[in-house]
Amino acid sequence: MLDWIYLFGFYSFNFIVKYTPDFILHPVLNFLAWVIYLFDKKHRKIIKTNLDFAYGQSMDEEEKQRIIKKCYKNLVYFLADFIENQGITKEKLAKKITFKNEEVLKNALKNGEKVILITAHYGNWELIALSIGAFFGKATAVGRVLEGKHLNKVLKKNREQFDIELLDKNGAMKGMIKALKNGRILGLLVDQNTAEKEGVLVDFFGKKARQSHSTALLSRKFGAVIIPLFITTDDYKNFQITFYDKITPIKSDDIDKDILELTQKQSDAMEKAIRKKPDEWFWFHKKWKNQYEEIYK
């Protein structure tokens, strides 16, 4: 029953986004973001806790409150953009996306290197996979399956445009190995907290956080380069995807050291991007829960 309620809500929002003129739609989206912000006390607290933990007194309260409100605005606007991107053509996608430092990926592909792209729940991350599939080649993305099966079908259909293969995050390793062996670009979101056995401890904003090490394992085993990339926007209409310097595979006699170093470099790239524009990260996650569970109580 709950699944159908979510589906009804999605299609209602879908109708509003598709058939409302921009000069009316934008105030509606702003109002919706404000309403969600007002009533969602649980996640407001999580966001504030994360900001306090990451920045402490180096960021003033006014800026923290601005970021909290911006998180909700991002959520609503990016959902609206997700709806607009259903069935989008390559030509229309090209009008809203620009690339920076894309030669990092182009050179890796030209040299025949196996490529793992890593990003975070940052900016309009749903656009990244579409853009890679449309302009750089066959891609395989790893994502979480939604609990609602009907809504998940909508999400899956949108994510699999431009020959993008979607793998369920649970049990994805076999599919990731196959993707790399078949020369597909592999993409993952690696910023969330993870379980003890599914990650290693890295430094993130000067605190210990547990991060998935699956990309490091794959990089070391198959000699794949890891390329961080992040998407930003200033107006919710035009988006820029920036590629960071590639992380080359490490393979010494100390596998644990190699994995930790490779994972730490990914964490450093994420922190660098977030510090540049902190209001675009999805601060809703309990990023430091594994080591500092008490801060979320």
Q: What is the pLDDT of residue 213?
A: 97
pLDDT of res. 160: 85
pLDDT, position 277: 98
**Dist. CA 71–CA 40, nearest whole Å:** 12
Q: pLDDT digit string (tens) for 76-90?
A: 999 999 999 989 999
Q: Count other Cβ atoms within 10 Å, centred on residue 238.
A: 12
Q: Pseudo-torsion of CA 55, 58, 64, 70, nearest 10°?
A: -80
Checking if the pLDDT of 5 tops 90, the result is: no
* Pairing status of strand 115-119 against strand 185-189: parallel
pLDDT on residue 170: 87
pLDDT of residue 265: 98
Read off the tokens for 156.
């899956």
| pLDDT value at 1 more than 70 | no
pLDDT of residue 2: 67
* For range 129-136, the mean pLDDT: 96
pLDDT tens-place string over residues 216-231: 999 999 999 999 999 9
Q: Which of 132, 118, 141 is nearest to 90 (CA)?
A: 132
Residue-level pLDDT at 55: 98
Kindly state the percentage of the chain with pLDDT values over 70. Answer: 98
Cα–Cα separations (whole angstroms), residue 103 to 108, 115, 225, 241? 8, 13, 14, 12
pLDDT at 108 over 90: yes
User: pLDDT value at position 67?
Assistant: 98
Asked whether residue 280 carries a pLDDT value surpassing 90, the answer given is yes
Identify which has the larger pLDDT, 155 or 291: 291
